[in-house]
Structure 1
Amino acid sequence: MLKLKRYREVIFTSILDFLIILASWFVFHSFYPNTMNILMQDFNLDFISGGLLVSLYWMVIFVVMGSYKKLYLVSRLDEFIKVLKASLLGSLILFFIINVNERISISDQRVIIIAYWATIFMLLALNRFVVRTVQRYYAQQGKGLHRTIIVGTGQTAKVAYDDLNRNKTLGMQVLGFIQVNGKAPDPDSGIEQEEVIGRLNDIESIIQDRQVQDILVALEPDRRQDLVEVISKVDSPDVSLKLLPDFYQLVSGLSKTNQIFGMPLVEISPEPMPLWEKTIKRAFDILVSAVVLVLTFPFLVMIGLAVRLSSPGPAIYRQERVGRNGRLFTIYKYRTMLNDAERHSGPTWATKDDPRVTGLGYWLRKLRIDEVPQLLNVLKGDMSLVGPRPERPHFVEQFSQQIPLYTRRLRVRPGITGWAQVKWKYDTSLDDVKEKTKFDLFYIENASLRMDAKILINTVITILKGKGQ
């Protein structure tokens, strides 16, 4: 139910877009019937199937371009720019598609594609403008607002509360305040005790019970040390987390703020990688994994046989790991340790010159060959080529309690290699994990195809130099 409320703007807008694109196909066909019939004959389509296929094509373009991301009370100018970018890209691709037809002159093709782009752009831009205007009107009437809680009980929180109540176009209906330090509200803040609906430790149940959609962190300037604890507690991908920056943060330029009708807000851990990059990343994962597994299959079988012959036990080691959003999956690796190495000790860290590592396992680790079977995990979608390394549930539970923001690593797919792997040494202690977590969080906040390429290149160099452990 909470997810449905969160995405209702996306669902409503996408349905309207689809209907408008479909209608524009019918309208455009009436102006250029001969040309459109020639194109449909070339692709073995009829009038109806052609319209549906083109409409679906446009929906894919708009999704990949991020046109359905964060539509709630978005700026109408931002909507205009989104539609402009997506329609230009989609029309450019269509131009190259119809360019293969030699029965239509180049000049006619240009006229057709420009006219079609103008039709699509104007109708969709008008649709978005009307929808956002109506949405803003209802927000001014106090309807359709996001259910919001404010973290903090000081004067800053009270000011934020008053601003949200005074200006409904901010889109937030405040349900109450959350205590951070367990103390009663500041008497000078004007917040009454009955307006406090819980403490920070109870925030997960409060979010669930009250169907919270937005969380606004409004701490006092002298309570900045509580910010890490707040972010650690509020780690739900289905809830938008925003920070009300103080004057120092604004003028220092340390925080990138978004203006929501004049109210400066910092969104905590937004998605840095746009959908088109995510799509390319996933396609690249599948392509590379499939090609490597197919081309090296005989070699991989020989390694498996060598593992079996070198020491008793299976060739492939299976272990439960924690993946994206806390989902458990089974990871595959070539066995590099003695069979049942943790039977008596339980889950433990590997150490340098670990006596449990076999002779063959030492070289498999050194050359990172033991990780190759994880390409099967990549194909299945449990992992990616690049991302934070997946950890066992035992350690995830332990680290989550000891390392601030550790669980934010679970917001992305784990990877075979990652920024922490190329920048830090192998884990041998809790301090090592803390340092690697810093690198993982940096990657999550700055993820891009360019950064993935840099990590993969560094990994290849590490393998060639034999610096694995």
Structure 2
Amino acid sequence: MRHRYSILFFPLHIIIDFLSLNAAFVGGYLLKFQTTVGVTDHPYASFWLLFNLIWLVEILLLKPYTFPRQLFKAGHLLKKLLFLTGIHIAVISMYWVAIRGYYYSREHLLITYTLFLSLGALFRIGGLVFLREYRARGYNSRRYVIVGYGKLAASIHSFYETHPEMGFRFYGYFDKSTAENKGILTGTYTELSNYIGREGIDCVYCCLTYMDNEQLKAIVDHAEVANYQVKLLVDFRGFLARGTSVEYHDFLPVLNLSSEVLADFRVNVFKRSFDILFSVVALGLGMPIFLAVAAITRLTSAGPTFYAQERIGQGGKPFKIYKFRSMYVDAEKAGPALSGGLLDNRITPWGRFMRQTRLDELPQFYNVLRGDMSVVGPRPERQFFIDQIVEIAPEYRSLLKVKPGITSIGQVKFGYAANVDEMVKRLRYDLLYPQRRSFIFDMWIIAQTLRVMAQGRGK
């Protein structure tokens, strides 16, 4: 079954909200006055009518019930309900002051809006749960195809596969036939039009990376006749960052991708001041621990106490990172290699303990004082591995806009990475940091790091 009943959602939503509003008004009157006698008499009858008229005007002006399936989420629905109710309260308040309607009960109004928000939220959440389950079972679905085969096409397909509650059903890839996509394509460009009509396709995703303008124009022109949606996919993940904006040159939209500072001057100054103060205190109070760890490192295996390695810092600038040596000497004589975890035979027995407790990272407070690193920030990597990560996850470049750190949310939630795939998995956590960077968030990460150190759960 396709989405033939989708057209009913709009009027059903309006009707239920009006029923909720009126039930709340009468219910509030009943709870306040212990009777419904009088609610249809003056002055409450006109007040009741005004309630409905204001809500109707809001619907006509703001069109609150039109949104794509991707935004059909509880948070979005409840925010819009609160927004509409806030406007309604503001208009009623102005009317109250204008007519000096102090004879209306404030308690009645409070109960009415409380009931309305409760009923509205209950309906929205209940409807959302029902629709998600309904669509996950294959009903009320929208059929889509993807034109142009590649990583970008696979990404949108994977997104809808992991979100069946959105009700999008995949009907195949269309592209030029090549040796790489042999056996994967449903058809070629010449077969697309007939396939859309035969299968009743609702939406065509066009990956601009893999197709030219003539092919796109043909699809758009055909959409006007065959009545399907055309959506364009452009891969901005590698260079899209905070501060991106759209400029309009007459009717032509231009995407401005100029880099901007991720936090204002005051945040950066405060963070740098905190880094210096925290590092001085850590180095001062922790000196006995540092000396003990250094001595044990030197005595338990041949080689230097400290280990220095080039990493890439803020803005792509290389620097030397310092650690207590946790591996045997010449562990990478065969070339750059990531640690295979605590079972890696290149790690010394004492090194395993240091990694579990994160003691090997302590010398990096020197890097913090030098300004190469921060106490909290995404972990710095070597250029050799950055090149491999970017091929899989281009969004990694956004982490180079902030100063790397001794600890990060990725280190707390994931730990050391044994291969590039694990580095990409850890990246999913670290990408949260530039967006949520704040003093409170830094304190939370530091607290979690201390807990990991105390419990010896580092990996």
Normalised by the length of structure 2, the TM-score is: 0.47
**Max Rg structure:** 2
Normalised by the length of structure 1, the TM-score is: 0.46
